[in-house]
Structure 1
Amino acid sequence: MDVSVNFHVASRQSQFRVPSELIRINFKHVQRLIEKQRLAVDAEVAKIKAADLSPPERLAALRKTIRGFETFQKKLRQALDKDRDYHARLEARRAHLCQLAQWAKPSPDGDMVLNLHNPNLIQWYRAEHMALIVDYLIKSYVPPSPSSTSGKRFKSDSENSGLKLLASIKDNYPGLDKLIDHDIFALFNRIFVSIVQEHDLDLVVAWFNDNKSFLKKNHSNLEFEINYCKFLSLIDQGEVKQAIVYSQTHLSVYSNRDHYGDGGQAMYEANSAKLKHIGGLLVYVSMKEEPSGEKVALMPRYRQYQQLLSNERWVSLSQCFMDNFNQLYGIPHHFPLYTYLSAGLVTLKTKSCYHNHTNTIFGNQANGSGHNTPAHDVWGMVDRKFRGPNHYYHALKKINHCPVCSPELFQLARGLPYAQLITNVFNNPFKLPNGNIYPFDKLLAPSDNHLDEKSILLRKNSIKDPLTHQVYNISDCVRVYPA
Structure 2
Amino acid sequence: MDSLSNGDSAAVAAAETVAATAVSIMPQSRIRLADSLKLENQLLKLPFEHFKKSIRANRRIAEKEIGAVIDSVIDAAQQDMSKEEAVDHLTSLVSRLQGLKRKLEEGSRTENLQAQRCRARLEHLEAAQTENVSEWNSTREKRFLVDYMLRMSYYDTAAKLAESSNIQDLVDIDVFQEAKKIIDALQNTEVAPALAWCAENKSRLKKSKSKLEFQLRLQEFIELVRADNNLQAITYAQKYLAPWGATHMKELQRVMATLAFKSNTECAAYKVFFEPKQWDYLVEQFKQEFCRLYGMTLEPLLNIYLQAGLSALKTPFCYEEDCTKEDPLSQEGFRKLASPLPFSKQHHSKLVCYITKELMDTENPPLVLPNGYVYSTKALEEMARKNNGKVTCPRTGLVCKYSELVKAFIS
What TM-score does the superposition give when structure 2 sets the normalisation length? 0.73
Q: Structure 1 residues 410 and 75 mapped into 2: Cα distance closer, same or farther (>3 Å)?
A: farther
Report deviation, 1:418: 3.4
Tell me whether 1:444 sits opposite 2:409 in the alignment.
no
CA–CA distance in structure 2, aligned partners of residues 62 and 411 of structure 1: 70
CA–CA distance in structure 2, aligned partners of residues 18 and 326 of structure 1: 10
**Contact 1:22–1:86 at 8 Å: present in 2 too?**
yes
5+ residue gaps, structure 2, are 1-27, 356-365, 381-389, 400-411
Q: 1:77: which partner in 2?
A: 105
- Give the counterpart of 2:45 among 10, 13, 17: 17
**Contact 2:162–2:171 at 8 Å: present in 1 too?**
no
**Contact 1:225–1:317 at 8 Å: present in 2 too?**
yes
**Contact 2:120–2:170 at 8 Å: present in 1 too?**
yes
Q: 1:116: which partner in 2?
A: none
**Aligned-pair identity (%):** 22
Secondary structure of 1:331's aligned partner: coil
Amino acid in structure 2 at the alignment position of 1:131: R
Tell me whether 1:211 sits opposite 2:229 in the alignment.
no
CA–CA distance in structure 1, aligned partners of residues 372 and 161 of structure 2: 53
**Contact 1:89–1:179 at 8 Å: present in 2 too?**
yes
Q: CA RMSD in A?
A: 3.5
Q: 1:274: which partner in 2?
A: 251
- Give the counterpart of 2:89 among 61, 69, 74: 61
Secondary structure of 1:186's aligned partner: helix
Amino acid in structure 1 at the alignment position of 2:134: I
**Contact 2:307–2:341 at 8 Å: present in 1 too?**
no
Report deviation, 1:320: 3.9
Report deviation, 1:466: 4.2
Tell me whether 1:132 sits opposite 2:128 in the alignment.
no
More helix by share: 2
**Contact 1:133–1:337 at 8 Å: present in 2 too?**
yes
- Give the counterpart of 1:185 among 149, 172, 176: 176
Q: 2:21: which partner in 1?
A: none
5+ residue gaps, structure 1, are 104-119, 143-158, 258-267, 289-296, 356-389, 431-438, 451-462, 473-483
CA–CA distance in structure 1, aligned partners of residues 296 and 327 of structure 2: 36
**Contact 2:212–2:285 at 8 Å: present in 1 too?**
yes
User: Which runs of structure 2 are paired with 1:299-378 in the superposition (5 Å)?
Assistant: 302-351=267-316
Q: Structure 1 residues 320 and 403 mapped into 2: Cα distance closer, same or farther (>3 Å)?
A: farther
User: Which runs of structure 2 are paired with 1:231-270 in the superposition (5 Å)?
Assistant: 231-255=221-245, 257=246, 268=247
Amino acid in structure 1 at the alignment position of 2:223: S
Q: 2:363: which partner in 1?
A: none
Amino acid in structure 1 at the alignment position of 2:121: R
**Contact 1:141–1:161 at 8 Å: present in 2 too?**
no
Report deviation, 1:56: 2.7
**Contact 1:234–1:242 at 8 Å: present in 2 too?**
yes
Report deviation, 1:219: 4.1
Deviations 1:47-89, CA, capped at 9 Å, x for gaps: 3323332333222221221121112111111221111111111
Secondary structure of 2:314's aligned partner: coil
CA–CA distance in structure 1, aligned partners of residues 331 and 395 of structure 2: 34
Report deviation, 1:245: 2.3
Secondary structure of 2:197's aligned partner: helix
CA–CA distance in structure 1, aligned partners of residues 290 and 328 of structure 2: 38
Report deviation, 1:132: 0.6
CA–CA distance in structure 2, aligned partners of residues 319 and 12 of structure 1: 24
Q: Structure 1 residues 69 and 413 mapped into 2: Cα distance closer, same or farther (>3 Å)?
A: farther
Amino acid in structure 2 at the alignment position of 1:340: Y
CA–CA distance in structure 2, aligned partners of residues 239 and 320 of structure 1: 27
- The total of aligned residue pairs comes to 347
Secondary structure of 2:189's aligned partner: coil
CA–CA distance in structure 2, aligned partners of residues 443 and 81 of structure 1: 71
